[in-house]
Amino acid sequence: MSVCSVGVHMVSDLEAMKQRLESSQLRTYNLTASDLVKDHLRYLMGGRLNVENEVLCRFIFPERPGALMKFLDTFSPRWNISLFHYRGQGETGANVLVGIQVGKSEMEEFIQRSESLGYEYVLVTNDSNFQLLMH
């Protein structure tokens, strides 16, 4: 399966393109409603990877000194950080996509550490758009 990303400016252009592609037996996916795609995945295109035991999370880092160090002290060197994509959002904080290699038997500890960190976060490993574009 090949994946191609296309940007259009008008809804009518999108519909026309979708109809042309589907009439040629090509499957289309509209990813415009996915914050994960808009904030991170569109910048990470370049090949599919399968990192063993990778857990993918979105964290909101507060915009204050020491936020990154607190994060690193919580997870590293306990687990390998396999992906780190930072998107600053101004005064509200930074949206950070993180891949961390966590064994299945260590997930409870990982979740406890994530909760104790105090940063808003969500697991996105099983997000269908991540699976489509990155695996």
pLDDT tens for each residue of 46-59: 555 678 898 999 99
Are 59 and 104 contained in the same domain?
yes
Q: What is the pTM of this model?
A: 0.68
Per-residue pLDDT tens digits for 104-124: 999 999 999 999 999 999 998
Range of the structural domain that residue 81 is part of: 37-134
Are 64 and 114 contained in the same domain?
yes
C-alpha–C-alpha distance, residues 127 and 124, integer Å: 5
- What value does the mean pLDDT take over residues 9-22? 80
Q: How many domains does the chain have?
A: 2
Average pLDDT, whole number, for the chain? 80
Q: Which of the four pLDDT bands, split at 50, 70 and 90, describes residue 74?
A: very high
Asked which of 13-17, 33-37, 88-92 is least confident by mean pLDDT, the reply is 33-37
pLDDT value at position 23?
86
- What value does the mean pLDDT take over residues 68-78? 91
pLDDT value at position 90?
67
Q: To the nearest whole percent, how much of the chain has pLDDT over 90? A: 33
Are 26 and 45 contained in the same domain?
no
Are 64 and 129 contained in the same domain?
yes
Are 26 and 41 contained in the same domain?
no
